């Protein structure tokens, strides 16, 4: 049985080559300009993406009242920080705890909370991930992502759709009690907000 394609399975070089080829074709055909491509990259690197979700996570770790609002209505809580928009209209946050680990998937297509996580990674959209994560999440997390969870940890898989897009509030790692929000946000990865990874202590 094959495992879902992950950064460990499909090389970054292969993905970069495919992106460059597509970019060159779009420019050659006059569909896009180099400036437009650069601007799109800038938007998703600096204005939309995982760094926004990481900021939300860091605030939830340091502000119990905000965390309660986030878990009650993620869309409204994110809007307090000026985060929202297309693909983020109906977001639901699920919290990792000492006993529960959450992971998200979209079995039908690739629904995903873009405003807080940016563009979905290639492996998130592939049929192998979408089908296997629901059936054998512990095995997929271990084999494809190197995430080994104790047998005592319950794994909950959340299936996103166009009506609701889930993402994960990861557990705050030990040893970060004295870090401010900016330093905490720097620890948070996209994978930890999907559930295919955890936040590691500095």
Contact (CB, 8 A) for 93 and 169: yes
pLDDT of 110: 81
pLDDT of 6: 45
Mean pLDDT of the chain: 86
pLDDT of 88: 60
78 is catalytic: no
52-88 pLDDT per residue, tens: 999 999 999 999 999 999 999 999 999 999 987 666 6
The catalytic position among 11, 16, 78, 109 is: 109
113-152 pLDDT per residue, tens: 888 998 888 899 899 999 999 999 999 999 999 999 999 9
Q: Which CATH architecture has domain 48-194?
A: Alpha-Beta Complex (3.90)
Torsion, CA 118, CA 122, CA 123, CA 129, rounded to 10: 90
Contact (CB, 8 A) for 98 and 171: yes
In which band, very low, low, confident or very high, does the pLDDT at 180 lie, cut at 50, 70 and 90? very high
The catalytic position among 6, 111, 160, 192 is: 111
Residue 50 burial (CB count, 10 A):
22
Tally of CA atoms within 13 A in the half-sphere of 2 that contains its CB = 12
pLDDT of 32: 77
pLDDT of 27: 81
pLDDT of 26: 78
Phi, psi of 129 (to 5 degrees): -65, -45
- Alpha-helix residue ranges (DSSP H) falling in 45-179: 50-62, 64-72, 74-80, 114-117, 122-125, 127-135, 137-145
State mean pLDDT over 3-7: 45
27/90 Cα distance (integer angstroms): 35
Which long-range contacts (C-beta less than 8 Å, at least 24 apart) are formed by 64-72? 67/169, 70/169, 71/95, 71/169
Contact (CB, 8 A) for 5 and 145: no
Contact (CB, 8 A) for 105 and 194: no
pLDDT at 8 over 80: no
33-47 pLDDT per residue, tens: 877 766 666 665 555
The catalytic position among 6, 78, 106, 192 is: 106
């Amino acid at each position: 049985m094959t495992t879902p394609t992950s950064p460990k399975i499909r090389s970054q070089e292969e993905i970069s080559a495919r992106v460059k080829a597509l970019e060159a074709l779009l420019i050659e055909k006059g569909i896009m300009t180099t400036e437009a491509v650069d601007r799109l990259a800038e938007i998703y690197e600096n204005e939309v993406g995982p760094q926004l979700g990481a900021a939300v996570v860091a605030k939830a770790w340091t502000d119990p009242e905000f965390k309660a609002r986030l878990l009650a209505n993620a869309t409204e809580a994110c809007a307090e920080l000026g985060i929202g928009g297309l693909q983020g209209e109906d977001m639901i946050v699920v919290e990792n705890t000492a006993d529960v680990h959450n992971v998200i998937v979209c079995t039908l297509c690739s629904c995903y909370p873009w405003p807080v996580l940016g563009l979905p990674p290639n492996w998130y959209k592939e049929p192998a991930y979408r089908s296997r994560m629901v059936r054998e999440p512990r095995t997929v997390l271990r084999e494809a992502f190197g995430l080994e969870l104790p047998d005592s940890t319950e794994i909950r898989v959340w299936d996103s759709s166009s009506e609701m897009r889930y993402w994960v509030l990861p557990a705050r790692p030990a040893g970060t009690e004295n870090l401010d929000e900016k330093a905490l946000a720097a620890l948070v990865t996209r994978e930890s907000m999907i559930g295919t990874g955890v936040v590691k202590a500095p």
